[in-house]
């Protein structure tokens, strides 16, 4: 069982795509274990994307991520990190595979709808960046109420 950090980026929140993004992940069997809306300060966006601090797009990226609210979530499932990345599609929507979130909805390589952790190490940094222990429910805890 893996956990990964997903962000519905400000472009997608502004365009009313929160539900569509979550639906794509849930319909593939990924389980939402934590969920919140956050408005990042630019310093917080810079901390989150610190691996990219030397990139030419860093200032623009972090301004974009702080320009409006995001929806952050923790998704769980077998191979969740890789499965989320596949469902997102390539960073550049022009290169993203048919049927992926970015191919369907992204306006540009920057305003590309969604973030997903790219490795176990990234997930281990990114999940606690947004969520404390009490804000993450285990899949087992979720399963206690049977409505099916
Ligand atoms: P993310 O980390 O957001 O899930 P990713 O792993 O597909 O995306 P990264 O290379 O980590 O891509 O880049 C982080 C983000 O920076 C991208 O999602 C995009 O918003 C922005 N970005 C990446 N490359 C460029 C670029 N060449 N020009 C502008 N923005 C870019
Ligand atoms: Mg990345």
Residue 116 CA, closest ligand 1 atom number = 4
Quick: pLDDT tens for 40-80. Answer: 999 999 999 999 999 999 999 999 999 999 999 999 999 99
Domain residue spans in the chain? 2-87+113-142
Residue 91 marked as a ligand binder: yes
Instruction: Supply the residue whose CA is at minimum distance from atom 18 of ligand 1.
Output: 91
Give the architecture (CATH level 2) of 2-87+113-142: 2-Layer Sandwich (3.30)
CA distances from 124 to 109, 118, 119, 121, 139 (A): 25, 11, 9, 5, 18
User: Among the atoms of ligand 1, which is closest to the Cα of residue 90?
Assistant: 7
Name 46's Cβ contacts closer than 8 Å, sequence gap at least 6: 53, 58, 62
pLDDT in tens, 85-141: 999 999 999 999 999 999 999 999 999 999 999 999 999 999 999 999 999 998 778
Cβ(87) to ligand 1 under 6 A? no
């Amino acid at each position: 069982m893996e956990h990964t950090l997903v962000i519905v980026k400000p472009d997608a929140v502004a365009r009313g795509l929160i539900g569509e993004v979550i639906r794509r992940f849930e319909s593939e069997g990924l389980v939402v274990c934590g969920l919140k809306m956050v408005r990042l300060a630019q310093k917080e966006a810079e901390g989150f994307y610190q691996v990219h601090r030397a990139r030419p797009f860093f200032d623009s990226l972090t301004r974009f991520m702080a320009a409006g609210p995001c929806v952050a979530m923790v998704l769980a499932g077998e191979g969740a990190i890789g499965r989320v990345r596949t469902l997102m599609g390539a960073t550049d929507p022009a290169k993203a595979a048919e049927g992926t979130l970015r191919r369907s909805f992204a306006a540009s390589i920057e305003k590309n709808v969604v973030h997903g952790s790219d490795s176990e190490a990234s997930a281990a940094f990114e999940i606690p960046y947004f969520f404390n222990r009490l804000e993450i429910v285990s899949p087992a805890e979720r399963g206690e109420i049977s409505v099916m």
